[in-house]
Amino acid sequence: MSRQLATLLAARVASLRSARGWSVRTLRDRSGVATSTQNSIDRGTLPDMQTILKLAIAFEVTSLEEMFGPLLPTSEVFTAVGARRP
């Protein structure tokens, strides 16, 4: 399941970056997320929450659905990221 979230995030970051005409370097400068981390995301690695938040702020995204696209039911998301449901 985390693989699915990582794939969604990679596609969304690529889409948001492309829509703005940003290079990887521009996103790095605007977000503070290293180019190597961006490359890892592109390869399907799910980053930590701090990195996701930095990207969301850079893209001016206000919800998880904007960042990941259509999400799975909440319980599946918690399972996918290995978190306990509150």
pLDDT at 38: 96
pTM of the model: 0.76
8, 17, 38 from 30: Cα distances, Å:
21, 11, 13
Bigger pLDDT: 68 vs 9: 9
Q: Where in the chain are the domains?
A: 2-79
pLDDT at 63: 82
Domain 2-79 coded CATH 1.10.260.40: yes
| pLDDT single digits (tens) 59-78 | 999 887 787 766 555 555 55
Contact yes or no for 77/71 (Cβ under 8 A):
yes
CB atoms within 10 A of CB 7: 13
| pLDDT single digits (tens) 13-48 | 999 999 999 999 999 999 999 999 999 999 999 999
